[in-house]
Amino acid sequence: MNQTDHSGSGQQKAEKHAANVMAETVERWLGNPLARKVLKFCTKRDGCGRRIDLVLRRYIGQNPEMCFRCRAACRIINFILNKFAGRMGIEKNVIEENLKDFMFRKGLGSVLEGLAEFGPAKPFTSYSPFLIVWNYTNACNLRCKHCYQRAGKQTPDELTTKEVMDAIDRMGKMGVAYIALSGGEPLIRKDFFEAARRMQKNEIAFSIATNGTLLTKENVKKLEEVGCRYIQISLDGATAKTHDWLRGKGAFDKAMTGIKNAVESKITVGLATTVTSENVKEVPKIIDLAEKVGADIWMHYNFIPAGRGEDIVRMDIEPDERERLLKYLSERTKRSKIKLLSTAPQYGRVSVQCDGSGSMSHFDIFSQQEGSNVKFLADFVGGCGEGRLYIALQPNGDITPCVFMPKIVI
């Protein structure tokens, strides 16, 4: 075994040990009724706002205004975090550096609030959604055959600019960590960058999913300035013929220009392919293209026959074809220059079986020794997180469990 292999093996063992310690600590501590009461006290929302957010800010050296109850919660959380870090073998400064990222801080706060409110339920439910997928507008300059939103013209019931800003303020107070802006084409709305600045002010991290045709150099620069963390650009073919068949004439060339502008920025760039029977054989060439243009990530999306996709349901790939695709991705990720990801829930299982380096690949779920660790994580996180870890926000303000499930819950 060479040095790199040995080092990797040691890292994997350390990760497994840390996860086991975390599993044991969480289950034992939160199984104690007194511990739950203490956590509820530390995460209570009152006149000071989100107590846990104030506490975590104080932990990293900030000095927010606090009442005596919040100061008491500070001492408790400091003790818990330091004790936990010691058990996990993590230096305090590492925790502090992570908590300086408001996305991580809000996410951790929501985890602790969720544990206080719902207990160590399996699967876990966060207090506030980690992620809100916001279909920012129904307006779009393309008419894609597989669009789940049937996007086209802006609808008259869409939120006004004032309502958009109010919604962002409310999400900020709730503790939402991340918003993924989609559509339609979100860049079409004239108030897009005003909304982005409002998210920045509320310390909500955000990304944008776009068809790429409006990613001019000017717009990409603006996205950098407002703190956009990720640009996801749709690319449904390695050639104009395939991509344009799904998205419209000229879409490929415009998207490639947008991709070029995006990768020249400091923002992480991902290319997303909705795989259908029309482009599944092109996937290797699409990944080649993603590597060539300098993207950071390539993402496989399952085709979900919602919206206009209902009209082309026959274009979904067969189960055995999807299995072959996932096996290919798991193998290719070992030698790819970029990250290869998939929304298919079975990708983790395929990666483990193929001994790839994709999702969960470093966990041996068939090992009796380590299986309990993976089982804990699987039980805790659960399967699809719709309505539990994330929700969808529609252009008119309706809330649905997922963009693919048009069932209004609020």
Q: Are residues 89 and 142 in the same domain?
A: no
Select from 377, 378, 405, 379 the least CA-distant residue to 391.
405
State the pLDDT confidence band at 376, using cuts at 50, 70 and 90: low
Select from 313, 304, 302 the least CA-distant residue to 344.
302
Q: Are residues 106 and 153 in the same domain?
A: no
Lowest-confidence region among 40-54, 79-93, 245-259, 276-290: 79-93
Q: What is the pLDDT of residue 40?
A: 93
- Looking at 91, 118, 145, which one is the last position of a domain? 118
Q: Are residues 259 and 392 in the same domain?
A: yes
Say if pTM beats, i.e. exceeds, 0.75. yes
State the pLDDT confidence band at 356, using cuts at 50, 70 and 90: very low
Q: Are residues 157 and 84 in the same domain?
A: no
Q: Domain containing 137: what range?
A: 131-345+384-400
Q: What is the pLDDT of residue 363?
A: 31
Residue 239 lies in a domain: yes
Q: What is the pLDDT of residue 382?
A: 72
Residue 257 lies in a domain: yes
Residue 351 lies in a domain: no
Cβ 289 vs Cβ 316: under 8 Å: no
Q: Are residues 183 and 309 in the same domain?
A: yes
Q: Are residues 137 and 74 in the same domain?
A: no
Contacts of 349 (CB under 8 A, 6+ apart): 365
Q: Are residues 108 and 141 in the same domain?
A: no
Counting the structural domains of the chain, the total is: 2
- Looking at 118, 153, 187, which one is the last position of a domain? 118
Q: Are residues 221 and 332 in the same domain?
A: yes
Residue 214 has pLDDT above 70, yes or no: yes
390-393 and 339-342 beta bridge pairing? unpaired
Residue 1 lies in a domain: no
Cβ 316 vs Cβ 272: under 8 Å: no
**What gap in Å lies between CA 118 and CA 114, rounded to an integer?**
6
E-strand spans in 10-148?
Answer: 45-46, 49-50, 131-135
State the pLDDT confidence band at 367, using cuts at 50, 70 and 90: very low
Residue 377 lies in a domain: no
Residue 359 lies in a domain: no
- Looking at 68, 94, 118, which one is the last position of a domain? 118
User: Could you tell me the strand order of the sheet in which 390-393 lies?
Assistant: 339-342, 297-302, 268-275, 230-234, 205-210, 178-182, 131-135, 390-393, 399-400
